[in-house]
Structure 1
């Protein structure tokens, strides 16, 4: 099954969930998503999502100098992002339960 469209629909939710626990820089967030089971997530999709969430006020960012390479831009969740994450978690719960019910053939 091609999960590309499914992934697009949950990328905001999963990125916010990943940074809720700990701030991270771009590739670190990509790695955590992949380690969590989203092995098909693309770097460009995550970086685009980070920029969009930052612009919307859901994320904050700051730069951390690195002695072994270029400085890294870290992202953290804002109060707006926490509110968005809570709402999207609730929406996901209802949606996934509904789809599971349909797939199991149980009447709603």
Structure 2
């Protein structure tokens, strides 16, 4: 998938992954890859800034823990994050429906050929 397709959807995707339960940063990366059959195998340089942005916005809460001698930051959805995820899901469904109608020719567009440029 191109990075252009990801724009505007990354935050909602991360919130959806965290709806399944707490995860550390690499856990978020793994879940995005695994739950999309490898379509979103994103680098940590993409995920960590998004996690920090979501935490600053109050949509997720992070806490430090130590596992196998390594400090990790674990993230969980906040109440505001749960509400935002609902908004993101509704918006996504509306977007998919509208684009699907357009691309499938059910929206009235595409019924007649485009004039030559």
Q: 2:89 maps to what in 1? A: 89
Q: 1:39 deviation in Å?
A: 3.0
Structure 1 gap ranges (5+):
none
CA offset at residue 107 of structure 1? 2.0
Contact (CA 8 Å) 2:29, 2:41: kept in 1 or not?
no
Over aligned residue pairs, what C-alpha RMSD do you find? Answer: 1.3
Q: Map Cα deviations across residues 46-94 of structure 1 (whole Å, 9 max, x no partner).
A: 111100000000000111112x342110000001101110001000000
Number of residues of Structure 1 aligned to a counterpart in Structure 2:
106
Counterpart for residue 40 of structure 2: 39
Higher helix share: 1
Conservation of the 8 A alpha-carbon contact between 1:7 and 1:41: no
Alignment TM-score, normalising by the size of structure 2: 0.84
- Please name the residue that 1:21 is paired with: 20
Normalising by structure 1, we get a TM-score of 0.91
Q: Which has the higher contact order (CA 8 A, sep 6+)?
A: 1
| 8 Å contact kept, 1:54–1:61 | yes
Runs of 4+ more than 4 Å apart: none
- Structure 2 unmatched runs, 5+: 109-117
